[in-house]
Every structure is written in structure tokens, then in C-alpha cells.
Amino acid sequence: MSTLLDVRDLQVEFVTPNGAVRAVDGVSYTLDEHEIVGLVGESGCGKSASQLAVMQLIQSPPGRIAGGEVLFEGSDLLTFAKNGPQMRAVRGGRIAMIFQEPMTSLNPVLTVGAQLEEAVRTHCSLSKSEARDRAVELLRLVGTPSPETRVKDYPHQFSGGMCQRVMIAMGLSCNPRVLIADEPTTALDVTTQAQVLKLMRDLVEQFGASLVIVTHNLGVVARYVHRIYVMYAGRVVEAGATKDIFAHPRHPYTLGLLKSVPRLDERQGARLIPIDGLPPNLIDMPPTCAFLPRCTRAIDRCRREPWPALESVGGGHSVRCYVNLGEARDERIV
Amino acid sequence: MSAGSDTTIVAGAACAATPPRVSPRAVAVRVLLHRKLFMGCAIFLVVLVIVALFAPWVAPYPPNQTELLNRMAPPSWQHWLGTDTLGRDTLSRLIYGARVSLLVGVVAVALSASIGIVLGTVAGYFGRWVEAVIMRCMDALMTIPMILLALTLAALLGGGLSDVVVAIGVSMIPPYARLMCAETQSIKRKDFIVSLRGMGAGGWRIMAGHVVPNAFSHVLVFMTMQIGGAILAEAALSFLGIGVEATTPTWGSMVADGYRYLFTDPILSIAPGVAIMATVFAFNMVGDTLRDVLDPRLRGTMVYGGKRA
Amino acid sequence: MTGYLLRRLGQALIVLFIVTFLVFGVMRWLPGDPILMYLSSDSYRITDRAEIARMRHQYGLDKPIPMQYLDWAKGVLQGDLGKSITKGTTVNEELARAVPVTLYLGIVSFIISQLIGIPLGILAAIRRGTWIDNTILVIANLGVTAPIFWVGIILIYVFGLTLGWLPIQGYTSPFTDFSKSVQQLILPAFCLALGPLAGATRQTRSAMLEVIHQDYVRTAWAKGLSERAVISRHVVKNGILPVVTLAGMAVPMIIGGAVLVETVFNIPGMGRLAVNALFAKDYAIVQGIVLITAIAVIIANLLVDLSYGYLDPRVRVA
């Protein structure tokens, strides 16, 4: 499996009246062919910002990409002009992205068909009627009932789940190599969530593409994702195969995340253990570990020395922590 | 923290182009400038009000004192803006004219606001046919352009200062009514109003005590912006010849008088116009900034009521 | 859709009725007897009570106000708007002479204001914060704060008197002498267009700015569309609604402004007619002008409402 997307040391900052916020502070990850990768973390940890940066969709004031490389198909995407022809060819054509709020992510005054056709005609040279047929086909592909009539409807006539399917159709319409899904199911109800996720997975497999799912929901990740990157305060704090992460979490934050999710096989009366405290203020971060204020496992070294680099602990699993939980096997996680 | 990146900051250069392309510095400058502009305008207005109030002491000459030997004089040390066709000092007349403009502006807006707020709140609160009747009347008023309406009323009433104030005031009522109607309707649905009614508070009490104060920040901003409009209306009316008697100088009538001598002595027409513009601009700026401060999410133009007729 | 249309028409008629009745009532009710005014002017010197009473009866001014209104309304439906007291002509004649002039001036001004104002607003929005945006905002501010009649005078001073490029006054019908007509129209049309232009610029700019940050615009960028496609197909199409509303409000603005512009530039249109009629307390003419103005504004509003249905599919009633 060759590497499709290689993001190295990505940095994104936002200028606010109170100072510069480092939303993404040296994030690196890879995506292989036919792989599904998950980016997990709380709100504000920089996962969405990092994906927007890959597509150079960061809103220029107040944000800016401050550093890093995004290697894809032999070039560094960040060297392309933000709205230049090369970047535009990549967007939607080679890497597609779908967003969190499907209802507001579609243009309310254009028919769904028109928006699908637009996506198709931007990257594939099709005639108007060919594009129209393709639009219907795409709707059918994502499971829209009676696509021929629905194609002339407007987004407000679709439900949330169906809108997201349209978005998926739009994203995959030009056979991209990578589909990035930014919190694709957060705005949907639980049953629809499961359907949409399965649809995404199936289609991505069918098209032979790779998928990046950004989410704060561990349940989403557990089922479909091959590898997980756990993010906190703009950095990756743990990375590895899904099974490894769930079975042997090494970072206290990951552990906290796992323990705060209710489980079906827990004994009755067991308490949920949340992670105390609030996410950090990303302005003027101290050099020490960002999780330190909330960490129950902190050792002396954590307080004295700056946040460590990501270190491998074997088997594709790496962690950014001095404590490195793996050694102590006193917790039953799985 | 992020240890010495060997990555070049190519991204910064790659981040050229749109949509909005503002450097952080420009944003900061804009905010500061806005404040400075606001301060400048506020100070200007305060000075203007003081000058107008103390006109008899501030103005170098009485506004109607003629110097027939010194007619149409260009600006000089004795007469900073020159004199008009009867030898009257332009600057002094400008100062006295400020009195009329400011007075009419403020009083007319106060009048229209008070009537409009009452009408709009009642309409929004009671709804149904009360709202229908009131709003139709407001629509009717709004179909006639404001200037034409004010002109008609002022001419019919006779044309003195108070008539002008009433005319302009009445013609500006509808926007307030619509605004308050919409505001009332949205506040009415809020839970705290429902609970007040549950406790037995009567309609008028709720309206006066809770609805109006809650909507007030929007209304206040709107009022400030409307003062400029009222001043422009007064100037238009006195330009056309309706308004105060010839003995009191007004900016509009000064423009009209100077029009005939435009080629020989343009200052006579230009100066009062500049005064009008500066004052209206200052009020608008203050209103703008007030709005930004009171609610940064308030959109560019005031909402003219929820539903249109 | 037709049900909605009928309802709106019904409302419009009610409003029209209220407007005309209000103005009618106010004019009759306020002090100032037009007959006395007319009779005490130079053309007549009769102060005989009987003569006054006779003339009042002749013009129907001795009936109660609601009756007078009904008479007038009946007349209107038959196409008769009454007679001018001061001029002796019918109101129809006066209006027939004046309204086309104002229509000509007004339409040209309207087109100028929207054609320049809207693109300027879009430009200011997509280049927000740059010197382009700031310049445009300043110009728009000037347009809103400058008194129309004063702008007219300045234009006359600069282009007419000082530079001598354009005629300073007067009106010629385009059918009589097209080039002279255009020359004379340029200054007043621009003067009249300034207010609506500034309004359109500001409204367009804020509408576009609001749309530009919407999720669907981000989706459009993510699809790889060019800036032009994003702006035209996604931003403008959604932001145009408040701009259309404002365009509708430009109609009363222009009619009101015409009153001043026609006075400054000595154009024999409806505005100037209104001013003269008001001074002479010529009720019938004023009533007629109010009627025409109200109809124009109501039609403009109706058109705006209808366009919502076309522009915004969410509004369309099934």
C-alpha cells in the first residue's frame, strides 16, 4: 500500500485581537491507498482546521497556514497558489471534502441536480446532458429514491441525511483519490448516522479511494476506521491502528476518552469518568504538555520539561507522552 | 515549541488571493480608525451643539446685520466666509442655521420615535386586526416618498418651524412602527414574557416595562441614523421655501439664496451644503459605531419590520 | 401563486385607498381656503361673499369631506381627476404633461443607480478591507449624506459653469431633439441617482459579505470552482434578495428626489408641479400626484414581492 497523502508538520494559526492562536501546531499524518483514517479529538483541537488547510480552504483573514508540507501525487499542495488552477484541479477532482452541516452546505437557490452537474463539469469534460445523466446516476448511487424527479428539487426539500448523501455524491462525483469527511454525521440523528457512515465506507471502497474521517465520536471511529490519530490542542498525541489504540491506549487523554464513553458490558451502577477541566486556551501556550492541567497521571518530568515529540512504541503505534501508559497494565480497557 | 521547522514558510506566500485579503494589520488599523473617526465625529457634534446653543455669543456678527457697502465679499479676516448679497456675515448665519437644523433634527426624530414606538409595540403585542389596521396605515404613509409627504404636510400646515418639525416627524413614523412591531413580536414569544403573563402582568405593563426596554438598543441606533435624515429633510424644505421665516437663516435657505449667484460667489451655496453634509455624516458615523458596539451581529441596514405589506 | 397575488393586490388597493383618503382629508381639513387664495391673487379681485360661496359650490368644496372624497374617487374610476383651481386646466392635462418627464428622468436615474451601485457593492465585498473597499465605502457615505439639491448645484457649478461641458438647466423631450435632451439629462440624472446608488452599494456589500461566509460558499470552493464561478453562481445569487428589496425602495427615493432635482435644474416634471401646486394650495393637482406616486410605489413593491418567488425557491408557495 503506497502512501497517498503525506502531511508533515502542518501549522495553522488564526490572528485574533487577543493574539495568535495556533490551531494546528505541527500535525503530521499519512494516508495510504484504500485506507480509512480517523482524526479524533474534542472541539477546538484543530482537527477540522488541519483538513481545511490540506485543501487550502482556510479563510485568509484571520487564519493562515504558517508552515508544513502536504505531499500528494508528487507535489506539495501548499506550494500551489491558493486559488490557482493547480489547487482548483485538486479540490473536488483529486481530493474532495464534505462538511458537518449538510443542510447549510448546499446552495439553497440551486437545484440539487444543478449543483451535482456543476461539480461534475468542473473536473470532467462532459456535455450538459451527459452531466445531467451523471447527476441522476449519482443520486441513485447514494440511495436516493426516485432520483430522476429528486434531481430537480431544492436542498430545503431534502432531509438532513439525504443532504449528506448528496454531499457524498458530489464529493465522489469525479473519482477523487481522497475523500475528507469533516464531522459528517455530527448533525444527523443516530440511525441516519449509521446509514451514512456505511454508505461512505462502501462507496469509498467501490471507488477505490481513501477516506479521512474527522470526528469527536469514538463510536464512529471504532467500526470503520483502520488507523486513528488522536489530537489535542493542535497536535497529534497518539497514533496507531484502531485495535491497538482501543486495546492499549498509551496517552492519558486517549485513556480518558475511552473511559468516558458508556459501555454496554459495564456493570450496572458503574460511574462515567469524564475528563476534568476544559480544553486549553490556545493563545500563549506554555512549552509544557498541553494536557498537563487535566492529566491524572502526570509525573514530575511532565512539569519540568517541554512537551515531548511523537515517539514510536512499536507496531505503528506512537505516542507523545512521558508517562506512556502501556507499561502499567492495571486498567482493563477492552 | 514546534521545534525548528525545516519547512520553509512557503505557505505564507502560497496564501495569496481571495476571497477577503486583509492583513491582520489592516484589520487593527480599521478598528482604531473607526474609533478615531467615531471620536472625531462625536467631538464635532458636541462642539456643534455648544456653538449652536451659544450662538449669540459665539457668532462674530448678528445674523441679520447687513453691511450694504460690503456685499458679496470674499473670505477675509473680518468675515471668514465672506458676506452674502446683503452684506451679512456668512459664518454667523451658518452658526445660527445650525440651531434650526439641530433642533428640527432632534425634535422631529424624538416625535416620530415616540409615536412610532407606541404604535408599533401596540400593533406587535396585540396582533390580529389591531396590527392589520396600524400596519396598513403605516404602509399607506410609506407609499408617499418622505420628502413629498413632509413637503405636503408642512405646506398645508402653514410653514413655520413647528409645522416643519411636525411634518418631518410624522413622515418618519412608519419605520419605527415597523421596527417595533417586529421586535415586539419576537420578544413576545420569549419565555420570560410568557411567565410574566402567567403571573398576571397586564399588557401595557409588559409592553412598557419589558418589551420596549429590550428592543431599545436597536431603536436607539436607528434614531441616531434618522437624525441625519431629518436634518436633510429640513434643509430640503427650507431650500424649497417652506420652513422658517426669512429672518432666521437656515442652511437650506442659504443654499437657495446663493444659487442665483453661483457663478460669482459660489461660497454662498457651497458652505451651507458642506455644513449639512458634515453634520449628517457625523450623526451617521456615531450611529454606525453605536450599532457595532451594541450588537456586532446587527446587519448593515435596519430591518423594516418582519413582514412586508 | 395566484391566490397570493390576489391577496397582495387586495392589500395594495386598501393601502391606496387609505393613502388617498388621508391626504385628501388632511388637505381639506387644514386651514387655508384655496378659493380665498385664488381670489386674492392678481387675476381676481372679487371679495364678494356670494361670489366666494358660488365658486366654492362650483368646485364642490362645501360638501362634507367624505362626500368630497367619494366624488373624487368616482371621478378617478372614470378617468377624471378633477380640475386645477389655479390654472383652469384639468388635472389630467397637467399630469399628462409632467408625468412623462419625470418618468424619463426617473427611469434613467434608476438604471444608472443600480447598474453602478450593485457592481460596486459586490466589488467592495470581495475586496473587503482593501483600499478599494474603503474608497467605495467613502463614496457611498457621501452619497447618503449629501443633500440632493446641493449636489445638483455643485454639479452645475463644476460641469456647467466652470468647465462648460454640459448645459446647466432646462429640459428637452428626447423626441424633439435627442442629443440636446441627453445632454440636459446627464447632470440631473446623476444627481438623482446618487442617493439610490449609495444605498444599493452599501446594501449589496453587506448582503454579499453575509453570504460569503456561508457554508455553501465553502462547499463551492471545495468543489474547485474559480472565484468568478463562486461569486456569480453562489454568492451573488443568494445575496441578491435584500438588494432587490432596496431597488424597490429606490422608486420612492427617486420620486422624492425628483421634487428637488426638478426644482434645481428647472425641469417641468411631476416634482416641480407638486411644489407649485402646494404653494398655490391647488388640491386637485396634489391629489392627482399623490395618487400616481402611490400607484407607482405600490407597483414597485408588488414587483419586488413577486421577484422573491422567482429568486428564492424557499419562498415559492406550492
Whether the per-residue pLDDT at A39 is higher than 80: the answer is: yes
Residues of chain C contacting B31 with CB distance shorter than 8 Å: none
Out of C129, C223, C311, closest to residue A118 by CB: C223
Least confident range from A278-292, B50-64, B203-217, C113-127: namely: B203-217
Tell me whether strands A178-182 and A95-98 are parallel, antiparallel or unpaired.
parallel
State the chains in contact with B (3 or more Cβ–Cβ pairs under 8 Å). Answer: A, C
Whether the per-residue pLDDT at A326 is higher than 80: the answer is: no
Among all residues of chain A, which has the CA nearest to that of C213? A59
Contacts of C52 (CB under 8 A, 6+ apart): C35, C36, C39, C46
Out of A90, A99, A109, closest to residue C219 by CB: A99
- Shortest CA gap A204–chain B (Å): 30
Q: Looking at per-residue confidence, does C309 or C291 come out higher?
A: C291
Q: Where are the domains of chain A?
A: 3-225, 232-331
Whether the per-residue pLDDT at C266 is higher than 60: the answer is: yes
Residues of chain C contacting A109 with CB distance shorter than 8 Å: 237-238, 311-313
Query: What pLDDT was estimated at residue B10?
Result: 26
Q: What is the tens place of the pLDDT at every residue in A248-263?
A: 888 888 888 887 777 7
Residues of chain B contacting A60 with CB distance shorter than 8 Å: 15, 17-22
Q: Does B28 touch chain C (CB under 8 A)?
A: no
Least confident range from A41-50, B86-95, B213-222: namely: B213-222
Least confident range from A279-293, B166-180, C286-300: namely: A279-293
Contacts of A37 (CB under 8 A, 6+ apart): A29, A31, A210, A211, A212, A213, A225, A226, A227, A228, A229
- Cβ contact, residue pair B18, C278, below 8 Å: no
Strand order in the sheet with A63-72: A19-32, A3-16, A63-72, A75-76
- Shortest CA gap C305–chain B (Å): 9
CA distance C279 to C267: 17
CATH H superfamily, domain A3-225: P-loop containing nucleotide triphosphate hydrolases (3.40.50.300)
Query: What pLDDT was estimated at residue B295?
Result: 61
- Shortest CA gap B158–chain C (Å): 8
Query: What pLDDT was estimated at residue C44?
Result: 53
HSE of C135, CA atoms in CB hemisphere, 13 A: 6
Average pLDDT over residues A79-99: 89
Among all residues of chain B, which has the CA nearest to that of C280? B155
Q: What is the tens place of the pLDDT at every residue in B113-162?
A: 999 988 888 888 887 888 888 888 888 888 888 888 888 888 877 778 88
Average pLDDT over residues A189-197: 86
Is B200 exposed, middle or buried (CB count within 10 Å of its CB: 0-12, 13-18, 19+)? Answer: exposed
CA distance A41 to A237: 10
CA distance B2 to A8: 12
Average pLDDT over residues B190-218: 73
- Shortest CA gap A161–chain B (Å): 30
Supply the ipTM of this predicted assembly.
Answer: 0.86
- Cβ contact, residue pair A60, B28, below 8 Å: no
Query: What pLDDT was estimated at residue B21?
Result: 46
Q: Which three cell numbers stand for residue A326?
A: 502501556
Out of A11, A59, A79, closest to residue B14 by CB: A79
Whether the per-residue pLDDT at C194 is higher than 90: the answer is: yes
Q: What is the tens place of the pLDDT at every residue in A209-219?
A: 999 999 888 87
- Cα Rg, chain C, nearest whole Å: 24
Residues of chain A contacting C224 with CB distance shorter than 8 Å: 87-93, 122-123
